[in-house]
Each structure stands twice: as C-alpha cells, then as structure tokens.
Amino acid sequence: MAKTAIITGGSRGLGAAMAKKLGEMGFNVVLAYHSASSEKLTEEVAAEIEKFGVETLIVRADVSKFEDCEKLVKATIDRFGDRISVLVNNAGITNNCNWIDITPDQYERVIATNLMSFMHMTHLVLPYMISHSSKDDQCNIVNISSVGGLTGVINQADYCASKAGVIGMSRALALEYAGKGIRVNCIAPGMIMTDMLRGVNQDELNALAATIPEGYIGGVHDIADAMEYLLKANYVTGQVLSPNGGFVMQ
C-alpha cells in the first residue's frame, strides 16, 4: 500500500517539483495550495503525479492559520487514513523591504507563513507519525529553509528570521524524536529559479547570480533531488542540506 506524503505550497516552483518527486517515489501525495487562482495549476501538478500510478488529494489551505492546517490534516486522514509518513513544509513568502519601511502586518505575515505554518503542521502531524513510526518504517519531516536562514540577506530581515527559526526548530524536533523513527531535516536552497525569484529586481538578481561560485542559478530539480536524498538517508537527522552552488559554505 502506498504511503502518504503531505506537501504545503504544492502548486508551483519548488513545491510542485518536490510533489512530483514524491509521486515518482511511490507516495500518495496531498497537495496544499493557497489561493483560488492556484487551483488549476495544482490540478495540473496532481495529474502529472498520478501518471506514476499513485493517488493525489488537493486541499485549499492557508497554512499560516492553525484551523486551515487542521482542515488539511483531517482531509488527508479522511482520504488516505492516518499513516502519514512524510510532511514537507515548503510554503513560503518574502517581502523584500528594508526594516524602516516595512509594516508589522508585512513581517507578521512572513513569520506566520514561513515559521508558524511549520509549527502548526508538525504539531498536528507528529501524533499520527509517532503512532506508527519505527526504525524500519521511518517517518520524515523535511522543512524548506533558505540560505537566508544561514546568513544575512539585505532587505530580508523578516525572511531570514523565519528561515533561521525553521532550522532551530527542526534541530530541536530532530532531537526530541530521535530514536522513535522520525527524522527531521532542512533544505536551505540558494538561488533557484521560481516565481519567488522572478519577482525580485532583475538587476539585483543578475548581480547576485554573478557571485555564485558555480556560476549559475539552480533549478527546481536540485531541491527535489535533495528532498529525495533526505527521505532515503536513514542515518541523517537534524541536518541542513544546502544546494546553493557554493554561495554559502557552512
């Protein structure tokens, strides 16, 4: 029987690439999407995943809100049962604003979307994971941080704080559930070409790209491959894997 994986922000970008990889790996995939305008895109991602012979469920949820996360987990269990094996916390936003002009609404939204969503989702999913996880049947939580969580980025203070928070919380949870068949790891992507980067000032982006030692901006497959590695790497927990072309060296 196929195992179940939930991924937040599965409509496009890194989320869509990782969702397809989950399908390729044989998981039934629950795709959470945010806005009504993303529904069609998410359906297209789901159709591609089903070509791997697995099932999908798409659920509209604003994962910055606890009640929407509850709805997402309940819909998952109603459809696939409570043996949830993988949670990928991917949904994220950025403001790109200096710390004088930014408003509290803007930075609270970044923290709620990038960090609180991870807190809500792990709080809701862990009890189901712990009820069936074992050394031979591990469950995995993969959290999408950023190089912004490892170093400072100008005009991204709220984003960097949220992504550093994701790393701190992942390490703490990895320790809390080590030895219980649950591994918790982070991916901290460098610059990867998605809508998130297309929205950034292109002159700034080109200048940044020129500073990447490998010489180019990464692709979504680089992150999907990192996720696949973490899901298969039975002895790896509490780690941060950073596909970033040498941009940040830990």
Which positions are annotated as active-site residues?
159
Q: Which residue, 116 or 129, is less far from ligand NAD as judged by CB?
A: 116
Residue 160 contacts residue 148 (beta carbons within 8 Å): yes
Could you tell me which stretch among 122-130, 185-193, 206-214, 227-235 binds ligand NAD (CB under 6 A)? Answer: 185-193
Taking only Cα atoms into account, the Rg of the chain, rounded to an integer number of angstroms, comes to 17
Which SS3 state, helix, strand or coil, does residue 132 take?
helix
Q: Which residue, 50 or 68, is less far from ligand NAD as judged by CB?
A: 68
Could you tell me which stretch among 85-93, 95-103, 205-213, 234-242 binds ligand NAD (CB under 6 A)? Answer: 85-93
Question: Phi, psi at residue 38, to the nearest 5°?
Answer: -90, -5
Place of tokens 């979307």: 113
Closest separation in Å from C-beta 35 to ligand NAD: 6
Closest separation in Å from C-beta 63 to ligand NAD: 4
Could you tell me which stretch among 3-11, 21-29, 123-131, 225-233 binds ligand NAD (CB under 6 A)? Answer: 3-11
Closest separation in Å from C-beta 110 to ligand NAD: 9
DSSP-assigned beta bridge partners for residue 219: none
Q: How far apart are CA 120 and CA 132, in angstroms?
A: 20
3 lies in the binding site for ligand NAD (CB under 6 A): no
14 lies in the binding site for ligand NAD (CB under 6 A): yes
Q: Which residue, 49 or 191, is less far from ligand NAD as judged by CB?
A: 191
For ligand NAD, the binding residue among 4, 85, 133, 146 (CB under 6 A) is 146
Residue 44 contacts residue 55 (beta carbons within 8 Å): no
Which residues lie closer than 8 Å to 176 by C-beta, 6 or more apart?
none
For ligand NAD, the binding residue among 4, 38, 140, 185 (CB under 6 A) is 38
Place of tokens 């030692």: 213
For ligand NAD, the binding residue among 195, 203, 210, 249 (CB under 6 A) is 195
154-181: buried (b, 16+ CB within 10 Å) or exposed (e) per residue? Answer: ebbbbbbbbbbbbbebbbebbeebeeeb
Q: Sign of the C-alpha dihedral, residues 160, 164, 167, 172?
A: negative
Which SS3 state, helix, strand or coil, does residue 189 take?
coil
Question: Phi, psi at residue 174, to the nearest 5°?
Answer: -60, -40
Could you tell me which stretch among 9-17, 48-56, 118-126, 229-237 binds ligand NAD (CB under 6 A)? Answer: 9-17
- Residues near ligand NAD (CB under 6 A): 8-9, 11-15, 32-34, 38, 61-64, 90-93, 113, 144, 146, 189, 191-192, 194-197
